[in-house]
Chains A and B, each alone.
Chain A
Amino acid sequence: MRRDIVTSIIAILLFTLLLGIVYPLVIEGVGQVAFPGNANGQKIYRDGKVVGSKIIGQAFEVPVIAHNGKPEEKEGEPVLQADPRYFQSRPSATEGGPYDAAASTFSNLGPNSRLTKQADEERIKEYLALNRPYDPGLTVAKIPVDAVNTSASGLDPQISEANADIQAHRIAALRHLSSSEIDALIAKYTSARGLGFSGEPGVNVLELNLALDRIGR
C-alpha cells in the first residue's frame, strides 16, 4: 500500500509534466512553425486591422438609429438590425448577443417546444421582410431551414447555397451588381464536402461579404 502511494504521487506528477506541459508545448510549437495561420485562428485583416476569423461567423448588423438621431438602446445594449447590403449569417443563440465568439452556446430549443415554433416564426418573418421585396416569389415553404434555425455553436461561418441564392437577389439590387457577378462570387466562396462526401457544401459569409466590399458598390 505504501509503495502504491509513493509510486502514485511520483507518477501523477511525472505524467502531468509529460502530458500536461511537454506534450501541449510540443504540439503548439509544431503548429506555430508548420501552420501558423491555422494555429492562430485564420485571422483576416482589412486596412491593417483584424476583421475576423475565416472560420468564425459574425453578425452583419448595424445599430438602429432612433428618431432623435441617437442609437436606440434596450436594457443598456444597443439594438441591432441586419444590414441589408450584406449577406446575413445564420441565426445565433450565443449568450452575449449573436456571434459572441467568447461564449459559444447552443439554443437548446426542444423539438416539441412552443418556444421553438415561436422563434422559427419570428425569424421567418424577419427573413421574408428582408428578402421578399427583392424576390417576390419567396414563400415560407421555400426558405431553407438553415436560414431560420440557429446553428449549434452559434458561430457557424457558413450558410447553405440555397440561402445564399435567395439573398443574392437583395444584394444584386442594393449593390447594383448583375446576378452572374454575384453567382460567381458565391461559387468562389463555397466550400465542397470534405473528401467529396463528408458533410454539406457551405458558403463562407464573411469572405463573401468582404469580396462584395472590395468591388466597392
Chain B
Amino acid sequence: MTLLGWATIAIFALVLTALAYPLGRYMARVYQGERVFLTPILQWPESFIYRVIRVDHKQQQDWKAYARSLIVFSLAGWLLLYFILRTQTLWNFTGLNPEHFHSAPWNVTFNTVSSFLSNTNWQYYSGETTMSYFSQMAGLTVQNWLSAGIGVVVAVALVRGIVGRSGRSLGNFWQDIVRTTLYILAPISVIGAIVLISQGVIDNFASYLTAHTVTGLTQTIGMGPVASQEVIKELGTNGGGFFNTNSAHPFENPDGFTNFFEMLLVLVIPAALIFMYGKMTGNRRQGIAIYGAVMLMFLGAVAVAYIAEAHGSPAQHAAGLHTGAIAGSGGGNMEGKEQRFGIAGSALFDVITTVTSCGAVNSAIESYTGIGGAVPFANLSASEVIFGGVGTGLYSILLYVLLAVFIGGLMVGRTPEWLGKKLEAREIKLAGLGILITPLAALFCTAMATATSAGRASISKVAAGGPQGFSETFYAYLSQANNNGSAFAGYTGLVQPAAGNLGSHGISFADLLGGVDMLFARYAPILFALAVAGALAGKKVSPVGLGTMRTDNPTFVVLLIGVIVIVGALTFFPALLLGPIVQGLTGHLY
C-alpha cells in the first residue's frame, strides 16, 4: 500500500461527487421537461425522431403501457442484434470485416445477444478474434446505448411514481428513451470519445497491423473503432470489451489518466441519478442520505480490495517473492495486473465496475487473492445497489428503501409512510419479489451448473478440483444474474480452436442457461419496479406528521445499510464460504 494509492481513492470520491451533483440536477430538469442549455440544439433532432418513429410523445402512459413499449422495443432490439451477429459475413461489402471473421455459433450468439440487451455484456467470445467491426458498431455499440437508456428510464419512471400527485401516469417511454440518449448519453459520449483518442485509445477501420519486431519476429496487432464503443461501454455501465482483455488492453485504456477518466465515466450517471432522485422528490436530503449510505459501502469495499491485493497471494509467497512496496515497484499481487495502473488503480477499477453493472475489468479478477476476489462477490451479492448500474442501481436501491421503510414502520409500530404515501401490502409484495429475483436466478443457475457434468464442462483446467472451480461457476451466474458481466475469465462457453471462428462451437448448457439467467434477472425486476411505480403513483399524499419516520437522516442510513447487508449479502453467505472465503482463510495451494 502507498499513500498515493489511498490518495487516488480519496480524490476519486471527491471528483465523482463534484461531477455527479450538477449532473443529477441537470437530469432532473431534463426528465421534468424543463429547458436546459442543450435544448436549443437538440429540440429539433428530438422532434424529428418522434416524427420518424411515429409517436405522440405527449401521450401519458400508465405502468402497463410503459412496460409494454419497453418490452416490445427490447424484443425488436434482440431480434435485430441476433440477425446482425449471425449474418456477419453478409456485411463484408461494407469493408468492415477486414479479418474475414465468420459468425459465432448460434448458442454463443444467443448468450451474447441476451447479454448486450440486458446491459450485462457478459462475453463468452473474445472480441478481436470473433467480431467484425460492423458487428461491433452497428450491433453491439447500439445496445451499449439502448440498454443503458432503458435502465435509466425505468428509474425515472419509478421516481415519477413515488412523487406523482396526479393519477397513474409514469410519463412516456419513447420520450424518456429519446431524451436519455440525446440529452445525457450523447453529449458525454462524444466529448469522452475524443478525450480518450487524445490520450491514445485507437479508433480506425484498418485491418490488423503486422509489425516486424526489434528481434525480427512478427507481431500482429488488432485494430478497430475502439474509442466510440469504449466511452459508451463505461458511461452506460455496459462493460463489454472491444478486446478480450477489456480495459486492461492498452488500446482501450492506455495510461493512468485514462484509467481515472474511465472510472469516472462508469460511476457518474449512477451517482447523479441519486441526486436526481433528491431533486425530483423536492427534498435534496433524501438523495444525500442514499448517497451517503452507498458511498460508505463503496469506500469500505475499495479499502478491503486494496489492502488484500497489496498484501499479495499465497502462491507468490510460496514461491519466495517479496510482495511489499519497494523503491521503484509498488509490489502486491501483480498476477493479472498492468504496471501502469498498479494495485490501487486496479482494485479501485475492480470495485467500481462490480458495484455498478459495468463489469469492465482492467485486471484479471480470477487472479485476485481470496479476500480481494471476495469483494466483487460481495458487491454482486448486494444486488448492485451500491450505486449500481445506470438506472438499475437507483430502482433497485429504491426497492430496498421501500423495504427499509416498511421494516422501520414495523419497529415503531406505525403504518409505514414514504414521502407522504402509505405503503401497503401490494407495494411491499412487489418490492420483495423484485429484490428476490436476482438471488433466486443466481443461486438456482449456480446449483444447476455445479450439479451437472454439462455445467462443469465450462470450468477452466487450471481451476478444476479446488474452491477456485466453484468460485468460477458461482461468479459466472451471479455476474450474469446481476447483469454485471465481469468474469472469473477461465470459465468458458465457447471452444474456439482458431481465430475467425473456424471450427468453433459453443457449450450449449452454459450459453443457454446464462442467456436465460440474464434476461430473466433483467426484465422481471424491471416489471416489478414499474408495477411498484404504478401502485404508488395513484396514492394520495398525506402531510408529514410527528409520527412519520424520516428517510433523510443518519438513523435511516444505518437502517438502509443494515437491510441491504442482511437481505442481499447474507442470502449468498453460504455460497461465498465455499469459494472465495475458503481461499482467503488458507495458505494452502490446490
Contact = CB atoms under 8 A, between A and B. Distances in A.
B49 A14 contact: yes
B54 to A, nearest CB: 6
A173 to B, nearest CB: 19
Contact of A41 (B73, B209, B583): B209
A157 B219 CA distance: 14
A145 B316 contact: yes
Contacts of B248: 104, 106, 151-153
A165 B201 contact: no
A70 to B, nearest CB: 16
Interface in B169-228: 174, 181, 186, 189-190, 193-194, 197-206, 208-217, 219-223, 225, 227-228
Interface in A35-60: 35, 38-43, 49-53, 55-60
B434 to A, nearest CB: 23
Interface residues of B, number: 134
Nearest to B137: A24
A108 B367 contact: yes
Given A116-B335, A202-B340, A28 B370 contact: no
B123 to A, nearest CB: 12
A160 B339 contact: yes
B238 interface: no
A209 interface: yes
Contact of B339 (A23, A31, A140, A146): A146
Contacts of B425: none
A215 interface: no
A145 B329 contact: yes
B34 to A, nearest CB: 25
Contacts of A90: 339
Interface in A130-184: 140-146, 148-165
Given A109-B462, A199-B341, A10 B222 contact: no
Contact of A197 (B4, B189, B201, B466): B4
Given A20-B142, A108-B364, A152-B336, A8 B72 contact: yes
B353 interface: no
B197 A39 contact: yes
B328 A160 contact: yes
B448 interface: no
A95 to B, nearest CB: 9
Contacts of A209: 214
B319 interface: yes
B336 A151 contact: yes
B369 interface: yes
Contact of B137 (A21, A38, A103, A121): A21
Contact of B219 (A52, A121, A153, A199): A52
Nearest to B75: A8
A84 B8 CA distance: 37
A207 to B, nearest CB: 10
A49 B214 CA distance: 11
Contacts, number: 420
B139 interface: yes
Contacts of B589: 112-114, 116-117
A199 B348 CA distance: 11
B454 interface: no
A195 B586 CA distance: 38
A41 B205 CA distance: 12
Given A41-B223, A101-B222, A194-B258, A50 B54 contact: no
Given A90-B339, A124-B321, A199-B340, A58 B366 contact: no
Given A31-B194, A107-B335, A160-B328, A112 B467 contact: yes
Contacts of B145: 15, 19
B7 A197 contact: yes
A120 B321 contact: yes
Interface string B229-265: 1000000000000011100111100111111100000
How big is chain A's contact interface, by range?
35 or more
B313 interface: yes
A83 interface: yes
Contacts of A68: none
A103 B330 CA distance: 28
B490 interface: yes
Contacts of B41: none
Contacts of B312: 145
A65 interface: no
Contacts of B499: 102-103
B142 A15 contact: yes
Given A198-B8, A198-B257, A40 B202 contact: yes
B202 A102 contact: no
Given A20-B137, A28-B228, A106 B217 contact: no
A34 B194 contact: yes
B353 to A, nearest CB: 13
Contacts of A80: 217
Interface string A177-211: 00000000000000101110111101000100110
B244 A104 contact: yes
B126 to A, nearest CB: 7
B493 interface: no
Contact of B139 (A20, A100, A149): A20
A159 B140 CA distance: 34
B370 A112 contact: yes
14 contacts: A4-B68, A4-B73, A11-B53, A39-B202, A53-B209, A53-B250, A106-B366, A108-B488, A116-B335, A117-B315, A140-B322, A151-B336, A193-B256, A198-B257
Interface of B: 4, 7-8, 11, 49, 52-55, 68-69, 72-73, 75-77, 80, 126, 128-129, 137-139, 141-142, 145-146, 174, 181, 186, 189-190, 193-194, 197-206, 208-217, 219-223, 225, 227-229, 243-245, 248-251, 254-260, 312-316, 318-323, 326-342, 345-346, 361-364, 366-370, 372-373, 460, 462-463, 466-468, 488-490, 499, 583, 586-590
Given A8-B76, A28-B203, 7 more contacts: A61-B217, A108-B366, A117-B589, A145-B333, A194-B259, A195-B256, A197-B7
Interface of A: 1, 3-16, 19-21, 23-24, 26-28, 30-32, 34-35, 38-43, 49-53, 55-62, 80, 83, 86, 90, 99-117, 120-121, 124, 140-146, 148-165, 191, 193-195, 197-200, 202, 206, 209-210, 213
